[in-house]
Structure formats: structure tokens, C-alpha cells
Homo-oligomer: A and B are copies of this chain.
């Protein structure tokens, strides 16, 4: 029997955003989103933890080389977010309200597409401030 191990790698990116629904006027945005809808935006040091699972290769003792996993996600995902404005600069967020809920689902799709066979994406954890964070396990619920 082969043990199933979960590996987590932590990433950081510094980005700005404005929580804003373009279908609403400024007043409704301010009423619903409060300070998070400041017209000139605000920003965060986001921390992203990516957890993948698999079984170790008996020849290396590794599920996947952490240095390789780091480079892959850094180059293909973090570089698109770091020192950027989430409302304007990020191709995979176009047309989405940049809440952490929407960001984490978009990140799931980006990262899942990068992983080699035998390495399963099982959890993303996105910390927006020292006081709050968001997790996604790829689960979906049926429509209402």
C-alpha cells in the first residue's frame, strides 16, 4: 500500500483591487461594499497556499520536487498577480468582481491546468489580511 501525502507550498503577492460591481452606480457600490469599494482602490499582501497530494516515488522519496512546483506556479501564476491591479491587469480575472471568493476559484483553474499526472490539486488557501482567509477544495454545489 502506498501512503498519500499532502504537500503545501506558500506564495506571496502584493496587489491592489477595488470591490466593485460595474452594473451598479457609485452610490450602490459604496452602500454594499463600504470601504472596500474606495474609488481609487486599496491593496493587500496576499498569501497563497497551494496543497497537492500524491504518493512518493520510491526512488526519490518525493511526491513532486518542491523546487519544480514552486518555479512552475511562480512563473505561470504569481508573476501575473504580483505588483498588479486585480481589476485591470490580470487576464484570467477579466469581467469578474475581484473578491477573494472569485479570485480563489480562478486560481484553482489556473493551477490545476499546470500540474503533472499523479499530482492532484486538493486545496487552495488565500489569506487576504492577517485576520481573514479563504479556502477552496474544488467542490461545487448543484444550482438552486
Contacts and interface: CB of A to CB of B under 8 A. Distances in A.
Contact of A102 (B34, B61, B105, B133): B61
Interface string A128-144: 01111111110111111
B99 A41 contact: no
Contacts of A142: 1-2
A117 B4 CA distance: 25
Contacts of A96: 61
B2 A141 contact: yes
A40 interface: yes
A98 B36 CA distance: 21
For chain A, what secondary structure do more than half of its interface residues adopt (helix, strand, loop), or is it mixed? mixed
A23 B60 CA distance: 11
A17 B4 contact: no
Which of A21, A38, A136, A143 has most chain B Cβ within 10 Å?
A: A38
A123 B58 CA distance: 22
Interface of A: 1-10, 12, 14-17, 19, 21, 23, 32-36, 38, 40-45, 51, 55-56, 59-63, 66-67, 70, 82-85, 87-89, 96-99, 101-102, 104-105, 129-137, 139-144
13 contacts: A2-B140, A2-B143, A7-B132, A7-B134, A8-B132, A12-B129, A16-B40, A16-B43, A34-B67, A42-B82, A42-B84, A56-B101, A70-B131
